[in-house]
Amino acid sequence: MKQTETASSAFHRLRVVLVETSRPGNIGSVARAMKTMGFSDLVLVNPRFAGACQHEEAVAFASGAQDILAAARIVGSMAAALDGINFTAAVSARLREFSPPVVTPREFAGQLAAGAELRAALIFGNERFGLPNEIVEPCNVLVNIPANPDYSSLNLAQAAQVLVYECRMAALDGQRAASPVGFQGEAASATQIEGMYEHLEQALVEVGFLDASNPRKLMPRLKRMFARAGLETEEVNILRGIARQVQARSRKD
């Protein structure tokens, strides 16, 4: 089935981000998985070997998807990888105490297909260590593949294939019309939300609600709470305005 090629199509609104990938073959295999499902935006964060996209193993495993490798970008930080993104999804088999809301691949794909304003990133971690908490906690959702609990071992490319397949099926066959009820603003970007967290943390420290030397789990809990909300740009601005007022009052006192 031929995909719909429009500016708002899910095929143009999904980015795959690979973090500190160890094996060049896995990068090539992910590129192949993406191309077979009609996606092309691939970003690598600090791959653990030089010339990641030109490595002979990556090219061999791409098996005809060399154009995806050639267009892939290599960046040195998550902030750069998520530039222009307003919906982030960490892919992990390991659930965390303070994770964002947990969804299945199909649920994530449905959200992507239904939200024409969403510019989403699927974030995959290192083959051995996965994703660290500091990357997972600020994400909007954590995608967990409901595999066999007695043997849930999926390699990086297999996990990517499952996700991009579900996204393709949702984009082609399972689009849900966005609800016309109520105001819907522009989803806040990952950069805007991270800036809001930093600002909020500063304000909480200044008023003595957060002990910087012993923060415990306050910020991870707040990040989880806001992740459930699906913040819009105006809502982030409101929260930062509140933080500014809190700081101003604190400094007067």
The position carrying tokens 């998985």 is: 33
Q: Give per-residue pLDDT as tens, 1-52.
A: 455 455 568 999 999 999 999 999 999 999 999 999 999 999 999 999 889 9
Q: Whole-model pTM above 0.85?
A: no
Q: Are 123 and 90 in contact (CB under 8 A)?
A: yes
Q: Give per-residue pLDDT as tens, 142-170.
A: 999 999 988 888 999 999 999 999 999 99
Please give the C-alpha separations between residue 242 and each of 120, 201, 203, 207, 208, in angstroms, as whole numbers.
28, 12, 9, 13, 16
Q: Give per-residue pLDDT as tens, 81-136.
A: 999 999 999 999 888 888 899 999 999 999 999 988 999 999 999 998 899 999 99
Residue 141 phi/psi, 5-degree rounding, is -145, 160
Helices (H) and strands (E) in the chain, counts: 10, 7
